[in-house]
Every structure is written in structure tokens, then in C-alpha cells.
Amino acid sequence: MNSVVRAGHLAPYFKSSTQVVANSLKPLVVVPTPSEKTVVLPLPKTSTVEILHGSLPIQGLKVKAGTRVPAQVRFAHTDISYPDFSAYRRKETQDPTSKANETIDERQSFTYLIAGAGSVAGAYAAKSVVTHFVSSMSAAADVLALAKIEIKLAEIPEGKSVTFKWRGKPLFIRHRTADEISTEKAVPVDTLRDPQHDDQRTQNPKWLVVIGVCTHLGCVPVANAGEFGGYYCPCHGSHYDASGRIRKGPAPLNLEVPPHTFMDEGLLVVG
């Protein structure tokens, strides 16, 4: 007679043995099982984990070997055939008995390096796309071209102030005479409403570059007029000197000096 003991829920409380040996430990229940021929149930043809698990009596079964007679429940896993995975294995793990821990660093870091390189490429692509679309909202080339003005300085005679239209406002370029330069430099800065020395307002003392908008209420001053040899605003009577600084009248600040650079070939670039 063949029997397979399945303990089920009461497994923690059963002790099964072929012989009962008295010792100090008192088991709750002692079920003596006669030693019989061992039974090996044939395994099902498919060898997936789920089917194996269902066919084997392993749920809650605890088997302890007796003292003199060995009693075992053997699961016949040594004759299960499995496919040969060597086509999928890396070089380090071709041998199925090789330890995974020894080569885990190499294999992992290789994979992560590939992933990292891909992330770098992806980040570069993402940055390019984003900057491309965001920079499309910045100023167009024709707007930027109009933003600067180039002036040939040779065409402006000495003592004259020439007006150009730049960014919608009048731009005064004044070719100053030596007298004007020395006068302006000699003015004490403390007496000015908006104290600025002439050096702070000009890069090249021969050329004064200012925006012709009165700082009072925005009228355009007249050149070579007024009591200080500079500009005079006819709207409310502001007098500016040959450095564009306010001397008399209601205006609070000096005429604005835009950023400008003197190029090599006698060109002035404003803006």
C-alpha cells in the first residue's frame, strides 16, 4: 500500500517519524508511519513551475528523517531537462556553473554604460529641440539689423551736429571742436544737476553721441542753440551743453548716451 502524507494546515503540529524515540521533548501528536517502499510519483510532461508545484505534495509537508531509517521525500529535479541557453549567455557566464556574483560588476556596468550613453544622446537631443523652439521666439534677424546703425564719421564736419533716426528716436552725432572739448572738460562736476564728467559720456572726446530726446517731457532739442553752446529744447527751455548735460531749465537728467563703438575704418556703430 502506498501512501503519501499530506499534513495541510496541521503541519506545524504533526511530527511524523518511522520510529518513535522517547526524548524530553513532548510532541503534541505523534503519528507513527510504517516504513514502506518509497513512492516516486511520475512528473507531468510539461515542466513549468506552476504545474510542478501543483503536482508535488509539498504544501506544508514537513518530513524529518528518523534516527535509524532514513526517510526522505525526493523531488526528482535532477532528470528535468532544460534548454541550452548558451546562445543568450554573455561570455563570462557561458559556463552554467559559474558564479554570478563574480562577474556581476562587469556585466552590470557594461549595460549601464550603454544606458548612460543613450541618456547622454537623448539629453543632447532634448536640449537641442527645446532651445531650437524657444529661440524661435527671440528677435528676428531684420529687427536685429535695424537695431544698429553705422555712421561714416568722415562725412560730418567739425562743429556740426547731425541727426539720424535710430530705433524710432533722433540720434545726435556731434563733431566737437577743440574749444568745446576743453570747455566741457573744465566744467566742475559739482555744479551740475546730473553730475557726470565729460569723460564718462564720451569714448572719443571729438565725438558726442547722444539721443536727442529731452529728459523733461520728450521734445527734440535744437542743435547749436542755447546759452551753453550745445542744445536747447524749445518746449520748456532746457539748455544742454556740448556734452549733452543739462545746465538750465526743467529737465532733470543729461541726454542719454547710447552704447556705441568706434570701428577702425572711421565707422561709428551705435547700438
Residue 115 Cβ vs another protein, minimum distance, rounded to whole Å:
8
The residues carrying an active-site annotation are 236
- Residue in 19, 59, 94, 109 binding another protein, rule: CB under 8 A: 109
Phi, psi of 246 (to 5 degrees): -75, 135
Neighbours of 218 (CB within 10 A): 10
**Total residues in contact with another protein, by rule CB under 8 A:** 13
- 105 near another protein, judged by CB under 8 A: yes
Chain centroid to CA 224:
56
Question: For another protein, which is the closer residue by CB, 106 or 227?
Answer: 106
- 116 near another protein, judged by CB under 8 A: yes
Among 22-30, 100-108, 195-203, 254-262, which window interacts with another protein (CB under 8 A)? 100-108
Residue 124 Cβ vs another protein, minimum distance, rounded to whole Å:
5
Query: Are the C-beta atoms of 269 and 203 separated by less than 8 Å?
Result: no
- Residue in 36, 38, 53, 106 binding another protein, rule: CB under 8 A: 106
Cα–Cα distance for residue pair 179/182, rounded to 1 Å = 5
- Residue in 59, 108, 203, 261 binding another protein, rule: CB under 8 A: 108
Helix ranges, the chain (H): 49-55, 100-135, 141-147, 178-186, 198-201
Query: Are the C-beta atoms of 181 and 206 separated by less than 8 Å?
Result: yes
Question: For another protein, which is the closer residue by CB, 118 or 218?
Answer: 118
3-state helix, strand, coil in the chain (%, to 5): 30, 20, 50
Residues 122-161 that bind another protein (CB under 8 A): 123-124, 127
Question: For another protein, which is the closer residue by CB, 113 or 189?
Answer: 113
For strands 29-32 and 14-17, give the pairing: parallel
Question: For another protein, which is the closer residue by CB, 116 or 195?
Answer: 116
Beta bridge partners of 175: 207
Residues in Cβ contact with 118 at an 8 Å cutoff, skipping those fewer than 6 apart: none
Question: For another protein, which is the closer residue by CB, 67 or 119?
Answer: 119
Among 117-125, 152-160, 168-176, 234-242, which window interacts with another protein (CB under 8 A)? 117-125
Chain residues binding another protein by CB under 8 A are: 105-106, 108-109, 112-113, 116, 119-121, 123-124, 127
